[in-house]
């Protein structure tokens, strides 16, 4: 995988190659990751839940085709099962679905990977960590809420690199789909198969989802280390 991990190309402060990915490439990568997750969730003889979907674990080949890596926290279950038991939270802070931390939010299932995927795609769009967005260079706001507010009032997204209607449509499609993926209630999130359909379909068929009400209570560690909490 000569291009290394996705995180090298999406965080503005980490881009060492001076190669900012075009929106068409970002869009193709988002679809490719969703298809990879769809294979894990539906294509295998047993369903595989990854539990650590994040840019660091997405590797890119010479054509920027994404491959999901690092299955150290993955769990397998019977293909017909949708709910799994878990003794502790697992994943990386910033991408962990609410129900993985507290069962008060619902049961842990394949929808937990969908949440992590949604957070990752929002970071691909914003070019920064999801809790590290500066507004007017003076204050910080939870990125999903900031981007949701822009969509709600049909405001300019002010995203870098957008050069035409096609780029704008790709960006909006990625945003709307990812906001559906990070809905607090797992039952409100689409399956990863539905995510693929939404990304490949017409933007006119996409509705803006309800605003996610969760926001982080504290900043995550500076590194993106994986955690397994018992």
Residues classed as catalytic: 52
Is 186 strand, coil or helix?
helix
List the beta bridge partners of residue 76.
48
Residue 219 DSSP label: P
Q: Could you give the C-alpha distances from 211 to 1, 43, 62, 118, in angstroms and in order?
A: 37, 31, 37, 14
- Copy the structure tokens of residue 203: 């933007």
Residue 115: closest CA among 23, 206, 22, 49:
49
- Copy the structure tokens of residue 188: 């409100």
C-alpha 191/C-alpha 38 separation (Å) is 9
Q: Name residue, tokens 């939270």.
A: 89
* Helix residue ranges per DSSP H, the chain: 7-10, 23-38, 98-101, 111-126, 143-152, 165-181, 192-200
């Amino acid at each position: 995988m000569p291009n290394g991990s996705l995180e090298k190309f999406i965080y503005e402060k980490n881009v060492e190659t001076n190669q900012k990915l075009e929106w068409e490439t970002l869009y193709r990568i988002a679809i490719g990751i969703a298809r990879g997750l769809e294979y894990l969730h539906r294509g295998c003889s047993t369903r595989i839940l990854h539990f650590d979907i994040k840019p660091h674990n997405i590797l890119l080949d010479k054509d920027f085709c994404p491959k999901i890596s690092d299955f150290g926290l993955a769990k397998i279950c019977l293909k017909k099962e949708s709910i799994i038991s878990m003794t502790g939270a697992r994943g990386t802070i910033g991408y962990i679905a609410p129900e993985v931390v507290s069962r008060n939010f619902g049961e842990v299932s394949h929808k937990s990977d969908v949440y992590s995927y949604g957070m990752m795609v929002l970071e691909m769009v914003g070019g920064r960590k999801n809790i590290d967005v500066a507004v007017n260079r003076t204050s910080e706001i939870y990125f999903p809420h900031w981007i949701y507010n822009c969509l709600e009032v049909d405001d300019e997204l002010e995203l870098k690199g957008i050069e035409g209607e096609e780029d704008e449509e790709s960006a909006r499609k990625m945003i709307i789909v990812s906001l559906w993926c990070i809905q607090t209630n797992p039952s409100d999130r689409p399956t990863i198969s539905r995510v693929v359909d939404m990304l490949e379909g017409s933007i006119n068929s996409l509705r803006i989802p309800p605003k996610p009400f969760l926001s982080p209570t504290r900043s995550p560690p500076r590194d993106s280390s994986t955690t397994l909490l018992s």
